[in-house]
Amino acid sequence: MRLTRRQRLAGVAMVVVGGLTLAACGSDSDGGSAGGSDAVITVYGTNPQNPMIPTATNEVGGGDPIQNLYAGLVAYNADGSVVNEVADSIDSKDSINWTVKLKDGWKFTDGSPVTAQSFVRAWNYGANPANKQLNNYFFYPIEGTDDVGNTTDGAKEMSGLKVVDDKTFTIKLKSAESDFPLRLGYSAYFPVPDSAFDSSGKITKEYGDHPIGNGPYMLTKKGWEKAKQIAMVPNPDYKGAHKPKNGGLTFKFFNSTDSAYSAVQSGELDVLDQVPPSALTTFETDGDVKAYNEPGSSFSSITIPERLPHFKGEEGNLRRAAISQAINRKEITEKIFNGARTPAKDFTSPVLDGWTDSVPGNEVLNFDAAKAKDLWAQADKIAKWDGKFQLAYNNDGAGNKEFSEAVANQIKNTLGIDASAKVYATFDELRKDVTDRTIKTAFRTGWQADYPSMLNYLGPIYATGAGSNDGDYSNKQFDKLVSEASAAQGDARYKLITEAQTLLLKDLPALPLWYQNATAVTGQDVKGFVFTWQQKPQYYALTK
């Protein structure tokens, strides 16, 4: 078949048009959201990975917006103190049976009232494994759940929750916990309106895309625009402690904190709550931005499981203490993290009530080469060291490679043993080996508390059989102290916590490394920036 030039061009044009239709689908352009009288603040965000349901969201992309869209029974102030929000009172005589009474007049933004049922139904939904909610773990203290927070024996509801009337419900715990109300400001405990559920009792996809809450803010009509932003405006019916001072929030999504930092420099973005490693040396002297840097609530450590050869019993304790004192924490926080970490003094975080830098026994966290060599030699008398020491880290977190190699080098140089860092490409690869207990090396661990209590840094990680006890540490005395502290109040409680920490410093189930600092930059015209205890901006207080 012979073709003229024109026919050939037509063929080319056809293919081009076909290709362009690919490009044409779904590009809309519309910027800006309606603001009130005050300015709308744009803040750094990432596209939520899960549906925006309180019990389904466990990462910051969805978590930060949800914190602003919902109000729980209690709310956290910036200093870590707790105020009643929707709850009028949360009382208990024995720290096991709790009665929650709700305030009058709270409404969801669809107009329906916030009732006891709104909480109980949402929590039961989260705890039922059939609903595949990632936050089910948070319900483990409540009776009727197993160790990881699933309702037991296929039940749809937790036996520990009872609705008394519209404004009252009761919670029965598995064991006494005096700080249980502190937990209730966490997003997993937020209420969900009845309109969220379909006829079969599942929370609908539409709700996950456009959640209806009772918090300081509510979504605009467009709300969550996938891969672009989440826009919210103040909720006029909100009655709580964190009344917005700005005209709304827009979470703009970024691929990387690097590009977000440039956006703050140029004024395209108002607030970035996480300074990228590339800017850590310069952000505090950068004239284009306002900088914030203070110790935060996230704790980093190295876990050396007892099942590793040479790390059992007396020998193991000596070796752990030796390794701990072979690490020069100060040098690493300064040289590698440019001061964005603070060397650890205990197993918790300095932002919490009751924290002290003088837990007895914490000199084991100081660098002391001579002491380290001596301890290592003592351990060698019990059994001669052979093999090598490896520290596993995941390479998808910024700074992990650098600090792991530095720690390994310090151990190698101080103790004169073969020590190296072992790379895992991603976080989930490392977690898999840790969870399966197939990991044959020491590994990096971290903890960010779910509620502002020192016990949240101890019980879930080091208590016998606890869910995040990756090193399978077990010490009856420690368990006893933690459960006593859970039931105690005031100074008695802090004393018990200090005693428990002293035990940990002796056994070193994990070697505390440092507290991660909260770092942030804002535009020059942004006012009212404060960190919460969760290292997040106090969003409602931001103004321009």
Interaction between residue 30 and other proteins (CB under 8 A): yes
Q: At what angle do helices 369-382 and 313-326 cross, to 10 degrees?
A: 160
> Candidates 169-177, 402-410, 442-450, 535-543 — which segment interacts with other proteins by CB under 8 A?
442-450
Can you list the alpha helix ranges (DSSP code H) found in 416-456? 427-436
Q: Which helix (H) or strand (E) element contains residue 376?
A: helix 369-382
> Do 191 and 119 touch, CB atoms closer than 8 A?
yes
Count of residues in contact with other proteins, rule CB under 8 A: 81
CA dist., res. 332 & res. 511, Å (int): 15
* Near other proteins in 358-397, by CB under 8 A: 396
Q: Which helix (H) or strand (E) element contains residue 219?
A: strand 217-225
What is the contact mask toward other proteins in residues 456 to 495, using x (rule: CB under 8 A)? -----------xx---------------------------
Interaction between residue 525 and other proteins (CB under 8 A): no
Query: Given candidates 208, 213, 295, 399, which one binds other proteins under the rule CB under 8 A?
Result: 208
The CA–CA distances, whole Å, from 269 to 138, 197, 380, 450, 527 equal: 34, 36, 57, 28, 14
Q: How far is the CB of 18 from other proteins (least distance, A)?
A: 7
The CA–CA distances, whole Å, from 188 to 170, 180, 303 equal: 18, 14, 28
Q: Between 6 and 93, name the residue whose CB sits nearer to other proteins.
A: 6
* Near other proteins in 335-364, by CB under 8 A: none
Q: Between 197 and 427, name the residue whose CB sits nearer to other proteins.
A: 427
> Do 94 and 78 touch, CB atoms closer than 8 A?
no
Upper half-sphere CA count for residue 422 (Cβ side, 13 Å): 17
> Candidates 265-273, 335-343, 379-387, 498-506 — which segment interacts with other proteins by CB under 8 A?
265-273
Which two structure tokens, joined as six digits, stand for 198?
């379909």
* Near other proteins in 148-177, by CB under 8 A: 148-150
Q: Minimal CA–CA distance to 276: which of 337, 222, 220?
A: 337
Interaction between residue 259 and other proteins (CB under 8 A): yes
Interaction between residue 25 and other proteins (CB under 8 A): yes
CB atoms within 10 A of CB 144: 19
* Near other proteins in 269-288, by CB under 8 A: 269, 288
Q: Minimal CA–CA distance to 56: which of 47, 66, 68?
A: 66
Interaction between residue 263 and other proteins (CB under 8 A): yes
Query: Given candidates 202, 335, 432, 437, which one binds other proteins under the rule CB under 8 A?
Result: 432
> Candidates 47-55, 169-177, 193-201, 239-247 — which segment interacts with other proteins by CB under 8 A?
47-55
Query: Given candidates 109, 229, 293, 301, which one binds other proteins under the rule CB under 8 A?
Result: 229
Q: Between 424 and 451, name the residue whose CB sits nearer to other proteins.
A: 424
Place of tokens 């509620």: 451
* Near other proteins in 108-147, by CB under 8 A: 129-130, 132-137, 147
